[in-house]
Amino acid sequence: MIAKLESKWESTYEGYFERDFARQGSVKQIAERLQEVQEQTNISPAVIWMMPADDFLELILVTPKKQFVIKKLPGANRARLTKRISQLEEAIGDRNSLRYYPPARLIYDWIFKPLDPYLAAENIDTLLLCTGPKLRSLPFAALHDGEKFVVEKYNLALIPAFTLTDTSYQPPSERQVLAMGTSKFVDLPALPGVEIELNTIVPKLWRGRKITDQDFTVANLLNTHQREGFEIIHIASHSEFNSGTPEDSFIQFSDRRLSLAQINELDLELPPVDLLVLSACQTAIGDEDAEYGFAGLAMQAGVKSAVASLWLIDDAGTVVLMSDFYQQLLSTSIKSAALRQAQVNLLHQKVFIQEAKIQGLNVEVDLANLSLEQQKQDFSHPYYWAGFTLIGNPW
């Protein structure tokens, strides 16, 4: 069953990216790999496959102790699921409303509630989510069980297929960040928070190199990384996952657009990049082509993990969340745990803006050049944090 699903999705991503990614994996091999990670990291991971069909939603769970669970839910067929996901995504965009709650609760009951007893039995805290069409752009962090959001319960990672994900674990080392971006564009909206964002990451929080504005070019990224080697690359610029082929999705550099089809030309595998972050990203929600590009980002870029957003977040919200994400990364090697904690800190208002400064950080970040309206926002709403998604290796 799993081998069939994995093979199907391998072929789908290979067709979309026009590349050969094929690997092999069985339930036994996957469970053994999860057990190895558990021993190496002290987290408890599990994999959930989700495949919507015309008559039901199929869920498959594999855990480190070799639990193998299959559930078929007739009430959550493709049409009903697609309708509720659309309602959730539309409602989250209204940051002054709680309209997102009913669909967030219903979708939770369909996807997670049937598996809750099995996850609880092994104290699972990290979920690798391998999903079918229409589910790859679902903000899983915003689903709700009636008491808590999913992000309050689990570290989350979206994967194209388990066999297409580099699940190796690298113990913490002296990592550095290459932080790049620009706030000014010719034919795209300005991103006034980019300068603050980059200055906070490097040098306030992390050691590394910062490249901005006219120097933010594809060639400079390639040459700087090849010369110095960075474990983390942060790009603060417009990125879009669009309908069509990988040529239609892109990252905007100061000199040109780099398409998703071209991103593997950056040679981010040599030296290897552990994490690629695209902080000003948007995805054509519900479009299958855009979903393939989003869920396959880490695989296509040749990096272990990527962080990107499903929708373009307000500039101030992005600065706050990204600042805390990088602060969390200093104290944990588990990338999905760092993102989860930053999201939870926004949800519970432990990190916020007051008196033109980000409160809750260990460094001072001055936001005086952001508008007063931006500074007064309440970042606890899922609009500000639920769109950020870790793709690929969660640890």
Nearest CA to 170 among 41, 31, 267, 277?
41
Assigned domain for 171 exists: no
How many angstroms separate the CA atoms of 58 and 55, rounded? 10
User: Is-contact 209 224, C-beta < 8 A?
Assistant: yes
Assigned domain for 28 exists: yes
Domain closes at, from 163, 198, 213: 163
Q: Which residue has the tokens 């959730």?
A: 88
Contacts of residue 15, Cβ cutoff 8 Å, sequence gap at least 6: none
User: Is-contact 212 198, C-beta < 8 A?
Assistant: yes
Domain closes at, from 130, 163, 196: 163
Domain closes at, from 163, 198, 224: 163
Sign of the dihedral through C-alpha 253, 259, 261, 262: negative
Q: Which residue has the tokens 């071209």?
A: 262
Q: Are residues 38 and 148 in the same domain?
A: yes
Assigned domain for 330 exists: yes
Assigned domain for 168 exists: no
**Tally of domains in the chain:** 2
Mean pLDDT by 10 residues, the chain (395 residues): 72 63 72 97 98 96 96 96 97 97 99 98 98 93 99 98 94 91 94 96 98 98 96 97 93 96 89 95 84 87 95 94 98 97 99 95 90 90 98 97
Q: Are residues 223 and 157 in the same domain?
A: no
Q: How far is CA 276 from the centre of its chain?
A: 10
Q: Which residues pair with residue 209 across a beta bridge?
A: 178
For residue 248, what pLDDT is reported? 94
For residue 13, what pLDDT is reported? 64
Q: Which residue has the tokens 């034919």?
A: 187
Around Cβ 218, how many Cβ atoms within 10 Å? 18
Q: Which residue has the tokens 């995504």?
A: 89
Assigned domain for 215 exists: yes
For residue 293, what pLDDT is reported? 85
Q: Are residues 270 and 200 in the same domain?
A: yes
The CATH number linked to 188 is: 3.40.50
Assigned domain for 170 exists: no
Nearest CA to 363 among 246, 239, 202?
202
Using CB atoms within 10 Å of the CB of residue 214, give its burial: 0 to 12 exposed, 13 to 18 middle, 19+ buried.
exposed
Assigned domain for 169 exists: no
Look at strands 250-252 and 68-73 and give their pairing: unpaired
Around Cβ 346, how many Cβ atoms within 10 Å? 25
Q: Are residues 195 and 317 in the same domain?
A: yes
For residue 16, what pLDDT is reported? 64
Q: Are residues 326 and 381 in the same domain?
A: yes
Global pTM value: 0.94
- Domain range spanning residue 13? 2-163
